[in-house]
Structure 1
Amino acid sequence: MKALCWTGVNETAVETVDDPRILNDRDIILKVRLSTTCGSDLHLLGGYIPSMRAGDVLGHEFMGEVVEVGAAVRNHRVGDRVTVCSFIACGRCWYCARGLFSLCDNGNPNPGLTDLMWGSAIGGCFAYSHALGGFAGSHAEYVRVPYADQGAFTVPDGVSDTAALFASDAAPTGWTGADGAGITPGDTVAVWGAGGVGQMAARGAMLMGAEQVIVIDRLPERLQQVQRYIGAETLDHTKDDVVAELKERTGGRGPDVCIEAVGMEARSTGPAYLYDRIKQQLRLQTDRPTALREAVYACRKGGSLFVLGVFGGAIDKFPMGALMNKALTVRGAQQHGQRYIPRILQHIADGELSTEHLATHVMSLDDGPRGYRMFKEKQDGCVRAVFRPDGAATPAR
């Protein structure tokens, strides 16, 4: 079959790879209808996530049609239209039983590296390096889905393929942050990053009762989407002092909840950003924590900070003094999508959540390398590049 593969740092190519097959009786094989780029994929492309191998199939956010089912699968039949959680979880272990699906003890068959790096192994993820399982990704004609009864969800008839696509990763990741941050009715929430995850975190916060939601970014096309489709306030960090402006909008206190949805390659200006960028390029630190630092300083005393952006290792100059003395509560996670995806699909069906607008550029899988260049370099207002293995494409929005 045809697939878009990682071939080296900042290099991708469409190649012919083996078709997937059932390996466990809890697997399904999915014919991919749509698959999309994600900001965390850029960390793979840039070489910041270890254990990628030339020829690895990329892609972890996808939906499609079931074409084969394992003998033990109970929830799906051939022909079902499903969206699939990017993180792979067994549904039976201690962590899954507590709704902490991205921490599954059985989803990652290669736990050694993450155990060494982080003190414990986390779950597996499609196409996110061999450290997270070495699973083939979704930028392909077909993909194997392990633990399908736990990770694949039937798409309601009234929900389009494009809308369902972003219920795979962007929306449940955003919901993980908004729910995990402990939002209560009347809260002010600030979200760093207006990509797919940041927009979904903002909308999730609104549906959970936040009174004021402010999204911070620098790209006008993303900020315009926030205003038009999410209904939140926006802040351009290249034009305003973010911490000062957030305090101005909150009566001098700062936001009750801050959600960082940027991660290890945050962009900014000034000496601190140059310091981080140089150290990262020299591999003296693994991550650029510009947005995370800013969120710590901006959050009100006694507030809550949730880290959704992907971080891989060590960061420098972290404001631990501010965090401790301001009595902040800090949490972080990869997505626990199995907990949230059914709810998200219902919000989409009920017209309470818009996701289709994220698909600004829809193209054939053959155009995958071009799509990733556009996404990485933010060309032509590209918020997300979406790939159709069937070859069909639609104009940019």
Structure 2
Amino acid sequence: MSDIQDRHDSGGSGAGCGCLAVALLLAVVAVLLGRPFLTDDGDGGAQAAPEESVVATPTSERPRSKKPSGRRPGVVNIFTEQGLRGVRAAGTGIVVDPSGLVLTNNHVIQGATEIEGTDTDDRRTYPAQVLGYQKSGDIALIRLSGASGLKTAKFAEKWEVRLGDVVTAVGNAGGKGGTPSVVTGKVTALDRQITATDQSDGSSERLTGLIETNAPIKPGDSGGPLLNTSGQVIGMNTAASAGFDLEKKGASRGFAIPSAKALEIVRQIQRGEASDTVHIGRTALLGVQVRQPTTPSGGRAGGAYIADLIPGTPAEQAGLRARTTIVALDDEPVDSPGSLTDMLLRHHPGDTVRITWTNAAGERRTTPVTLGDGPPQ
């Protein structure tokens, strides 16, 4: 995904800053409107990927083509408005159902107050709604409203991903819109682990079992398909960001979530099965800007410090105050802005929660807050 200044159906250029970095944590459901940047977490080695890292195990060996597949149907250019930050952003999606179901990265739609998707096959633009997402796995499912009869991407069913396989990455590079960009490369590692870190509060998520490729994936390509030489989707591109060094020893580096893992979450969302990691439906809004509090000596303190309140939101209406620290939600301790987000993701708009907070004098108070309707986290 890529932050952009203007939206284009074709041509144009994206802004230089990437989609995965911000300076201040804007907590609407609590926190994490910020984009994570990603760091390598081990060399991944040349070991074979575990079962979850491949699409399927082939029933027999087959020859590998060395010719890239090129572009295939089922790609959507995604554009979002982040109204609470005054930012426009862009990414990519993969059509998984003709009715307009689209798979993408969670960080593509994170913080979005409005979402549009342009199907690159029929060239039509549709408003979109978030059906559900897994923040910890960077996976989301959206629906293009009013869409029907869309061409779907073809997902590999019997294809083992191997080191050296030729791959093609397709996406909305730079947020330019129009015909998707197509870049090629090879699989350079399997079973990669990377850590997605929110720069504003230091919270992080570990993504595992990833496919690494030297295809030059760029911001905006996030959520797009990684294709094998047969044009089948074997992964969903992610981790291309301005906050991550994409160059190492002169070679581009990108990562993809194996399609089997992504489709498993898609099916769970379609079934409406919420869990500790998968959020279904609309997202609750608290309405505070928070950061990690510090001790007088500059160390890390527990809780979520309220730097500011978003005007007109439930937090302001309930009487929460800036320069105080949230320390519990429904009597469950809050030790960081990230934990506050996780707790609030268990709730939905209209739920009433008890927020316990302390002021500079150490006085402790509990305030009931009825949560509003906010952007996905």
Both structures adopt the same fold (TM-score exceeding 0.5):
no
Give the number of the structure with larger relative contact order, counting CA–CA contacts within 8 Å between residues 6 or more apart: 2
Could you state the TM-score of these two structures normalised by the residue count of structure 1? 0.26
Write 1 or 2 for the structure with the bigger share of strand.
Answer: 2
Write 1 or 2 for the structure with the bigger share of helix.
Answer: 1
Structure whose alpha-carbon radius of gyration is higher: 2
